[in-house]
Amino acid sequence: MKTCNSESPTPKSTEISTVGPAKIANPIKFGRFVEEDDAVLVNISRRTVEGASKSRKKPEHIYFEPAGPRDKIYYDPSKTKCAVVTCGGLCPGLNDVIRAIVMAAFHEYKVPSVLGIQYGLAGFIPEQGYDVIELTPDFVSRIHEFGGTVLGSSRGPQDPEAIVDALERMNVSILFMIGGDGTMRAASTVVAEIEKRGLSISVVGLPKTIDNDINYVSPSFGFDTSVETAAMAIKGAHVEATGAPWGIGMVKVMGRDAGFIAAQSALSCQEVNFCLIPEEPFDIYGEKGFLAALDERMKRRGNAVIVVAEGAGQDLLEASGKQDASGNVKLSDIAALLKREILDHFRKQDIEATLKYIDPSYIIRSVPANANDRIYCSFLGIHAVHAGMSGRTGLVISRWNGRYVHIPMAVVTRGKKRINTCSNYWRAVLESTGQPVSMKND
């Protein structure tokens, strides 16, 4: 019986905190303001809206707060100073988000100053010696054309007390933190320290990870670009595989705990024959194992393309026992194991297979954002400014059910989003690749 990954549990509370009551008239003159009683349903299926047909109990609806400008704001724009920091690994779209924040703050609210904190949370620590960058419309006007982040980034925790000390020294009113779930956990500790001191400083998070594994963020920015870039590598692997006798192309993509890049790029190419992800365990050997399935494919078609997420098959390898600066366990190299075992498997049959291995990992995360991600990043940055100016804090900007929403950091950091391997989405991947439903022997 196949075991399915569980879906993310419905959050119990989605209330967004504020630093105080909003009493100042919003200076924006064009467009509509979001009504305070508006809401976006978390679950929108008929079953969740109407309730089960046999149940007399009325369903309890959970809502997210919509993002967008309010008619009243908390901060006086003429006296407001903002700060932006990018944390963790690189991702397409970072510069686009920075640019959108700066442009919205200056042009919509006439905020006099937006500071850029260099090299992640380390930029708040005086001993590190990093200068602060004054972000102006002129400075950010063309940064969206380039990959990476103009502010630089870093991994690793920093003392929340030291971070809040720096915010006080710089007289910052709103801090925008761009990063993944680890950054949002760090942001939560900063919010807690701010509340402990009784300060009126808003902290707004923007979800960044090409792995697309952040809870209730659908998708995270940069994911679309990463899939598009991975697809180019897969097409190259396909050309190599079909250009040699017994040709095999193997592409390793990012995906520590979730295989969204591998699955989505496999669907986009339609040339992938095996998609290996962390959520779906597999055996290498045995009657139903991966090598048996690959052997059948090769003898039937003469070539194969394999896409493997970096976190797949870790149970088949010896754990490294090491961690990176963010506390993530350093993964063992599944691609090296597969390459060795594939070639050895065919060599034992006196077959010299030709295997071409492509690892586009850092290309995937360092390229400029594509058109879809640029648009998405712009909306995220703009809505982050609206949220911060209204005095909201401890939230993450997201897109959910077609609407931009505010999600509490506590909900986002509760766990990681993963592929449900009993879902129609994963079934579509299996149908596209033609691989077996399971490559486990038990």
pTM as predicted: 0.91
pLDDT at 374: 96
pLDDT at 36: 85
Distance set, CA 218 to CA 150, 169, 401 (Å) = 25, 36, 8
Question: Which of these, 83, 108, 112, 110, lies nearest to 33 by C-alpha position?
Answer: 108
pLDDT at 323: 64
Crossing angle of helices 223-242/260-269, nearest 10°? 60
Backbone angles phi, psi at 46, to 5 degrees: -60, -40
pLDDT at 59: 57
Whether 329 contacts 322, CB under 8 Å: yes
Q: How far apart are the first and last CA of the chain?
A: 9
CA distance 181 to 258: 13
Per-residue pLDDT tens, the chain, 442 aa: give them. 456 665 566 676 789 999 999 999 999 988 889 988 888 888 766 666 565 555 556 557 788 999 999 999 999 999 999 999 999 989 999 999 999 999 999 999 999 999 999 999 999 999 999 999 999 999 999 999 999 999 999 988 899 999 999 999 999 999 999 998 889 999 999 999 999 999 999 999 999 988 999 988 888 899 999 999 999 999 999 999 999 999 999 999 999 999 999 999 999 999 999 999 999 999 999 999 999 999 999 999 999 999 999 999 998 988 766 766 566 677 889 999 999 999 999 999 999 999 999 999 889 999 999 999 999 999 999 999 999 999 999 999 999 888 999 999 999 988 889 999 999 999 999 999 999 999 999 8
Catalytic residue ranges: 211
pLDDT at 7: 56
DSSP element (H, E) containing 194: helix 181-197
The one-letter code for the residue type at 191 is: V
Question: Which of these, 243, 244, 365, 233, lies nearest to 306 by C-alpha position?
Answer: 233
pLDDT at 329: 72
Sort residue 255 into left (φ over 0), alpha (ψ -120 to 50) or beta. left
What DSSP string describes 264-304?
HHHHHHS--SEEE-TTS-B-SSSTTSHHHHHHHHHHHHSEE
pLDDT at 218: 82
Work out whether the CA dihedral 421, 424, 425, 431 comes out positive or negative: positive
Residues contacting residue 72 through CB under 8 Å, at least 6 positions apart: 22, 23, 24, 25, 26, 390
Q: Which long-range contacts (CB under 8 A, 24 or more apart) does 194-198 make?
A: 194/164, 194/167, 194/393, 197/164
Question: How many helices (H) and strands (E) in the chain?
Answer: 13, 17
Whether 410 contacts 245, CB under 8 Å: no
Q: Count of alpha carbons within 13 Å of 228, Cβ hemisphere only?
A: 13
pLDDT at 42: 83
Specify the pairing of strand 24-25 against strand 303-309. unpaired
Q: What is the DSSP letter of 315?
A: G
Residues contacting residue 296 through CB under 8 Å, at least 6 positions apart: none
SS3 73: strand
